């Protein structure tokens, strides 16, 4: 039988084929001191991950978390089971220690149930976690340690910014191995009878508190920022959780929102930045329509562009078109067209969009006025002449004006059969219609 890793062909329907978690809580050690609250903390994290829809949550408690069992999970079970489109989260609540490598560099380790705190002989070292991450086929790995681990190359959280890309969802494919630890070097990790401050913050973040930009998505980088803020506040600055980007430049996704809301990073704060961001959103919406991709996402981006720049006339024009032709809502289309005329009167499309909506709403005279205004701005606007030709013929009963409009349309290079027939039918016997 093929392994899961080999059976996964192509992209999953969602972000991941399967989500795996290993949750370790060691409170009652064989030889090391008891660690109050570790089991309750592990239970809380496991429950939170199940609520997020993780397919497999492996809980290892006390003697189940022996050195041999932990190494078997890291070196054999997960590498055999996890596929390349999967997500893995590993959580550990227990004792940690530190030794030094041959270059006198700190090398942290976690203490299994049957190991001693100050004896790394049976410990699981950070190098072993790094080796697991290198061997894992999964595209996203997040390691969470409710302990003070030294020896990571600590980096500040860098929120992913996906704006300015035509297909932001493609960025979810980027490889990522990330780590969040409970404290800085030399700090004592707070533990008590219940959940630790780190776990309390972590669970709150997984339940939505980490959605710092309120876009419906929770990323590991956001979780790190929120957890650090909460723990520093709860411990009055005695404990500073750390974030490490161990591999890749992606970001582990913990809560998936709508793709059209996948805009991470800080919101633009200055007027210039807001106008620039509005243009980016507009261009992305335009590209989505050109590529015949999600009209819903295009509309969402246009609404965001208008929020950033309420006077962005071109965004109103495109929104009016979507609401007229693609996702029909005549009232919303009309409102957008009127806003386009207000904010971009020198854009002939503003008036043309208004005319098209008014025609659909059964107001042909008002539609004619709007289309004539479009021609006042651009006398060579071919499509407007064709629309006027149909408006005069179908709604205003003015056949000569219809023919005149169609003729001008043809003179400007239009090739509609209807316009050609109308002009030919109006030509005198033996007279050729205008080219």
State the average pLDDT over residues 310-335. 94
Listed range (120-134, 146-160, 233-247) with the worst mean pLDDT: 146-160
- Cβ atoms 189, 239 nearer than 8 A: yes
- What six digits make up the tokens of 251? 């970001």
How high is the pLDDT of residue 172? 67
- What whole-number distance in Å separates Cα of residue 420 and Cα of residue 418? 5
pTM of model > 0.85: no
| CATH 1.25.40.10 describes domain 267-360 | yes
Pick the closest to residue 52 from 218, 262, 255 (CA basis).
Answer: 255
State the average pLDDT over residues 307-328. 93
- What six digits make up the tokens of 32? 């090391």
How high is the pLDDT of residue 162? 39
How high is the pLDDT of residue 152? 64
pLDDT tens, residue by residue, 243-283: 988 888 788 999 887 554 444 445 677 888 888 888 888 98
How high is the pLDDT of residue 187? 84
Angle 57-120-92 (CA atoms, 0-180°, nearest 5)? 20
The CA distances from residue 396 to 33, 146, 383, 420, in Å, are: 91, 75, 18, 20
Please tell me which residue, 251 or 172, carries the higher pLDDT value: 251
Percent with pLDDT over 70 in the chain: 87
**4-260: which CATH topology?**
Rossmann fold (3.40.50)
Residue 176's contacts (CB-CB under 8 Å, 6 or more residues apart) are: 139, 140, 141, 220, 245, 247, 248, 249, 250, 251, 252
- What whole-number distance in Å separates Cα of residue 51 and Cα of residue 323? 37
DSSP 166-178: S-GGGGGGS-EEE
The CA distances from residue 234 to 191, 198, 208, 239, 433, in Å, are: 12, 9, 18, 9, 84
Domain boundaries, the chain: 4-260, 267-360, 380-435
- Cβ atoms 72, 125 nearer than 8 A: no
State the average pLDDT over residues 48-67. 95
Listed range (295-304, 364-373, 386-395) with the worst mean pLDDT: 295-304
How high is the pLDDT of residue 159? 44
State the average pLDDT over residues 328-351. 94
State the average pLDDT over residues 8-25. 75
Percent composition of the chain: helix, strand, coil (DSSP 3-state, to 5): 50, 15, 40
Instruction: State yes or no: pLDDT of 121 exceeds 90.
Output: no
- What six digits make up the tokens of 270? 């200055």
- What whole-number distance in Å separates Cα of residue 218 and Cα of residue 221? 8
């Amino acid at each position: 039988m093929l392994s899961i890793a080999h059976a996964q062909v192509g992209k999953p329907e969602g972000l991941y084929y399967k989500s795996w978690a290993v949750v370790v809580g060691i409170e009652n050690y064989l030889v090391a001191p008891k660690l109050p609250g570790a089991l309750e903390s592990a239970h809380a994290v496991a429950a939170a991950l199940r609520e997020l829809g993780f397919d497999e949550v492996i809980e290892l408690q006390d003697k189940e978390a022996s050195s041999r069992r932990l190494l078997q999970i890291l070196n054999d079970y997960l590498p055999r089971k996890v596929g390349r489109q999967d997500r893995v989260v590993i959580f550990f609540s227990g004792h940690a220690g530190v030794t030094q490598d041959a270059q006198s560099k700190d090398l942290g380790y976690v203490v299994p149930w049957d190991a001693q705190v100050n004896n790394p002989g049976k410990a699981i070292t950070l190098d072993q976690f790094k080796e697991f991450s290198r061997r894992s086929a999964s595209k996203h790995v997040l390691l969470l340690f409710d302990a003070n681990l030294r020896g990571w190359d600590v980096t500040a959280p860098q929120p992913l910014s996906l704006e300015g890309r035509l297909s932001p969802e493609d960025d979810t494919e980027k490889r990522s191995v990330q780590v969040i630890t409970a404290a800085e070097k030399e700090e004592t990790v707070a533990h008590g009878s219940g959940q630790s401050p780190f776990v309390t913050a972590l669970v709150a973040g997984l339940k939505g508190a980490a959605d710092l930009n309120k876009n419906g998505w929770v990323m590991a980088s956001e979780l790190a920022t929120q957890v650090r803020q909460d723990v520093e506040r709860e411990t009055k600055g005695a404990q500073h959780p750390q974030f490490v980007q161990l591999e890749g430049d992606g970001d582990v996704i913990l809560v998936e929102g709508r793709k059209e809301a996948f805009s991470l990073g800080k919101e633009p704060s200055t007027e210039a930045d807001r106008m620039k961001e509005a243009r980016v959103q507009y261009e992305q919406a335009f590209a989505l329509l050109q590529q015949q991709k999600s009209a819903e996402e295009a509309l969402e981006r246009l609404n965001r562009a208008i929020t950033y720049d309420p006077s962005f006339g071109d965004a109103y024009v495109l929104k009016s078109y979507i609401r007229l032709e693609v996702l029909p809502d005549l009232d919303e289309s009309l409102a957008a067209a009127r806003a386009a005329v207000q904010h971009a009167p020198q854009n002939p499309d503003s008036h043309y969009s208004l005319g098209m909506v008014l025609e659909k709403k059964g107001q042909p005279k008002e539609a004619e006025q709007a289309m004539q205004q479009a021609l006042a701005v651009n006398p060579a606007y071919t499509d407007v002449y064709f629309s006027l030709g149909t408006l005069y013929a179908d709604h205003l009963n003015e056949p000569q004006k219809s023919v005149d409009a169609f003729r001008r349309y043809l003179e400007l290079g239009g090739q509609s059969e209807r316009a050609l027939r109308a002009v030919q039918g109006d030509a005198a016997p033996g007279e050729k219609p205008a080219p």
